Amino acid sequence: MAAWFTFLIACFSALLTQIFGSGVFELELHEFKNFKGLLASGTSCRPDCRTFFRVCLKNYQVSVSPGDCIFGSAVTPVLGSNSFRMEGGQLSTPIRLPFNFGWPGSFSLIIEAWYSPSEDPPVDSNNPDLQISSFAIQRQLEVGAEWSQDVQSGQQTELRYSYRFICNENYYGDSCSKICTPRDDRFGHYTCNPDGQLSCLPGWKGEYCEEPICLKGCSEANGNCSNPGECVCREGWQGTFCTECKKHPVCKHGTCHKPWECHCKEGWGGLFCDQDLNFCTHHKPCMNGATCTNTGQGSYTCTCRPGYTGVNCELEVRHCDSNPCRNRGHCVELDNGYTCTCLPGFEGTHCEHSLLTCADMPCFQGGKCHERDNGRSYSCDCPKGYTGLNCEKRVDKCTTLPCANGGACVILAGVRMCSCRAGFTGQRCEININDCSSNPCANGGTCLDGVNDYSCSCAPGYTGRNCELHSAPCSSQPLCLNGGSCTNVPGGPPVCLCPSGFMGPRCDFPVTLPVHTDPEPRDNFQWAAVSLGVGLVALLVLVCMVAIALRHVHRQAAAERTHDTMNNQSDTQRDNLIPTSQLKNTNKKVDLEVDCGQEKSNYILKNYHLDYNSSKEFKESQTQEDKSHKYEKCLEDKIPLSRMYSEKPECRISTICSPRDSMYQSVFVIAEERSECVIATEV
């Protein structure tokens, strides 16, 4: 309702703006000079030029022309004669031209000085003979309280003045068209900003500042307010900020989380928390630091501290009342018990032990007894090899032989010696056995001695406990180039699997394929001729493969007839032989050699190049003894190598040893289902 009423007031005020105006144009005349005391026509005034002014305010014109003063006009009384200043004179207040509409932001102003023969104007303004001077200006002017200064000069006159446009009270904005009336009543509590916006008074909020701001911290759910800074609690809540609930009126020893609840505190029960369940807490019956335990129905039990007794531990216990000291010992009460003072000749907590003297012969092993403290005690001089108060202990000879590094002293046949832990030696186990004396680290590794152990610091490229294994360089550096895939070979160097178009150990040599050009356009391509040529090439390859297979079988048969050792191992070789249908013989250059001497690696690739010319010269210079030696060595290593490579079906290497005088090697590459290689080498 208040908002609706405020809206009606705002609409009514906007309507009044169009009726009563929104601002006022103010003009202050400061100084006028009529240097010669003449009229505009050049006639002198008699006796002098009594001067008044007429002001005309109109709309902005590029060239100011006479006409209606649509913004307003004013006529001043006679302000002086000839030259004069208008400060504190008859024009003590500025000339005001009220507006009944919004200020347009620009204007045209005409200021005329007239001669009045009599004291009081008006005079005939249509008589140009009475005009002294006339000034016309056009300006842009913003609404504001600051004055704009100006000076107008003519042939014989000069006028200094200032002007401004200000809004009427309660009007704001660039054109004084926004109305805002400050108020502090039930319909709003606000003042107005310079731009006409509402500014709420302290403690109020809302669109029209009609909502009070409650006390800071007041619960919005449980409290409200009618005036700023209040916090009025709703039913069921209490406290400064309305955050405390009201418990049930008859709840005695309880609390609440919501209004009208009754949650019993510890030790209380019942519907209204009026039944005492914790006698110990509420009554504290146990005394002297005793511990109280509730047993229900208002009963309790006291657990007394040492030295006290009774139902409530109110009685102090006297230990000496039970005469605990024996043999006429004297009992003395203490805070935490008692102590016995024994008579001469007795000892013990309760004086229960009789003291020995030399008369009791307490020294064993023939020790000599000596009395001390006037016969109240004694000491024994023990024979060699015994010790103790009564010479009851045999002397441990190992006490004078400390063993180092955890060694144990033992006595064998009357001789003391140290039994050392593993890894130590010496008379006192002070020497650490050098576990590196056998040089266990291979491949240039450095041995580091430890306690009963050693460790190897391997050279780059090796790993393992004794540096016996090659490391995997594929993971440490980009070995293969041109997109090749690096594969680690256990016990050997890495191998690069090259993509199509590249070859070499690191896939760094491109393969140049021949480029065939069509002698004729594609439309006349002879498919029949190409098919025939492909078929002939395939047939020729097949014939070559059959010839190679027959030659291989013939050589193996000759080897079996010549050597008994080969016959004994024929079963193993047949397993390693490769079917002729899967063989491809490349015999011109051989880049692969099988090292039969390695046990832990599948194969080792070495780059030895053999061709027909070099092998022929090498064959002539080789002696028969060298050929026989190589043949026997290959036979010795053939069976382990065959067994080793048969364990991995993906890549097998079969070695065929030939007794012939030849240094050629035939490498047979077999394509498997997993696109891996099988290498068969004939020696």
Q: Say which CATH number the domain at 362 has.
A: 2.10.25.10
Work out the average pLDDT over 232-252: 91
Query: Which of these three, 337, 371, 394, is where a domain ends?
Result: 394
Work out the average pLDDT over 516-521: 44
pLDDT value of position 472: 60
Pair (156, 284) in one structural domain: no
d(CA 666, CA 586): 7
Query: Which of these three, 127, 161, 179, is where a domain ends?
Result: 179
Asked whether residue 266 is assigned to any structural domain, the reply reads: no
Maximum pairwise Cα distance, the chain: 168
d(CA 399, CA 389): 18
d(CA 192, CA 201): 10
Structure tokens, 49? 């030029």
With 70 as the cut, is the pLDDT of residue 610 above it?
A: no
pLDDT value of position 639: 36
**Three-class SS state of 560:** helix
Question: Which among 482, 484, 481 has a CA at the least distance from the CA of 498?
Answer: 484
Q: Enumerate helices (H) and strands (E) in the chain, giving the number of each.
A: 7, 53
**200: enclosing H helix or E strand:** strand 198-200
pLDDT value of position 124: 66
Asked whether residue 364 is assigned to any structural domain, the reply reads: yes
CA atoms within 13 A on the CB side of 389: 6
Location of structure tokens 């005309």? 56
Asked whether residue 261 is assigned to any structural domain, the reply reads: no
Structure tokens, 347? 């000892």
Pair (86, 160) in one structural domain: yes
With 60 as the cut, is the pLDDT of residue 571 above it?
A: no
Mean pLDDT of all residues belonging to the chain: 75
Sorting pLDDT into bands at 50, 70 and 90, what band is 503?
confident
pLDDT value of position 596: 35
Instruction: Count the domains in the chain.
Output: 3
Sorting pLDDT into bands at 50, 70 and 90, what band is 400?
low
Query: Which of these three, 292, 316, 340, is where a domain ends?
Result: 316
Question: Which among 123, 233, 98, 69 has a CA at the least distance from the CA of 176?
Answer: 98
Pair (312, 172) in one structural domain: no
Q: What are phi and psi of 527, to 5 degrees?
A: -65, -35
Sorting pLDDT into bands at 50, 70 and 90, what band is 214?
very high
With 70 as the cut, is the pLDDT of residue 305 above it?
A: yes
- Higher-pLDDT residue of 424 and 606 is 424
With 60 as the cut, is the pLDDT of residue 672 above it?
A: no
With 80 as the cut, is the pLDDT of residue 391 above it?
A: yes
Work out the average pLDDT over 61-65: 88
- Higher-pLDDT residue of 525 and 41 is 41
d(CA 146, CA 101): 21
d(CA 680, CA 653): 5
Identify whether the C-beta of residue 45 lies closer than 8 Å to the C-beta of residue 61: no
Sorting pLDDT into bands at 50, 70 and 90, what band is 405?
confident
Pair (158, 284) in one structural domain: no
Pair (292, 145) in one structural domain: no
Identify whether the C-beta of residue 275 lies closer than 8 Å to the C-beta of residue 268: yes
With 70 as the cut, is the pLDDT of residue 674 above it?
A: no
**281: enclosing H helix or E strand:** helix 279-283
Sorting pLDDT into bands at 50, 70 and 90, what band is 287?
very high
Strand 653-656 and strand 677-682: the pairing is parallel
Pair (65, 151) in one structural domain: yes
State the residue range of the domain holding 311.
280-316
Task: Please list, in sequence order, all residues whose beta carbon lies within 8 angstroms of the beta carbon of residue 331, skipping any fewer than 6 positions away.
Answer: 319, 320, 323, 324, 325, 338, 339, 340
Residue range 76-135, pLDDT digits in tens: 888 888 888 887 555 668 899 998 888 999 999 999 999 888 766 666 667 788 889 999
Identify whether the C-beta of residue 363 lies closer than 8 Å to the C-beta of residue 391: yes
What burial class does residue 115 get, using C-beta atoms within 10 Å of its C-beta: 0-12 exposed, 13-18 middle, 19+ buried?
buried
Work out the average pLDDT over 583-611: 36
pLDDT value of position 237: 94
d(CA 87, CA 71): 26
Query: Where is average pLDDT lowest: 71-75, 544-548, 573-577?
Result: 573-577
pLDDT value of position 328: 86
Pair (35, 111) in one structural domain: yes
Asked whether residue 227 is assigned to any structural domain, the reply reads: no
**What share of the chain has pLDDT > 90, as a percent?**
21
Pair (287, 362) in one structural domain: no
Instruction: Write down how long the chain is.
Output: 683
d(CA 227, CA 307): 68
pLDDT value of position 8: 54
With 60 as the cut, is the pLDDT of residue 9 above it?
A: no
Query: Where is average pLDDT lowest: 146-160, 384-398, 593-607?
Result: 593-607
Pair (165, 306) in one structural domain: no
Q: Say which CATH number the domain at 76 has.
A: 2.60.40.3510
Pair (385, 305) in one structural domain: no
pLDDT value of position 266: 77
Identify whether the C-beta of residue 460 lies closer than 8 Å to the C-beta of residue 482: no
Pair (126, 33) in one structural domain: yes
**Three-class SS state of 42:** coil
With 90 as the cut, is the pLDDT of residue 160 above it?
A: yes
pLDDT value of position 28: 92
With 80 as the cut, is the pLDDT of residue 443 above it?
A: yes
Location of structure tokens 């230990």? 319
With 90 as the cut, is the pLDDT of residue 233 above it?
A: yes
- Higher-pLDDT residue of 647 and 333 is 333
Q: What are phi and psi of 557, to 5 degrees?
A: -65, -40
- Higher-pLDDT residue of 262 and 299 is 262
Sorting pLDDT into bands at 50, 70 and 90, what band is 512?
low
> From start to end of 577-657, where are the E strands?
585-586, 653-656
d(CA 278, CA 466): 76
Pair (302, 164) in one structural domain: no
With 90 as the cut, is the pLDDT of residue 148 above it?
A: yes
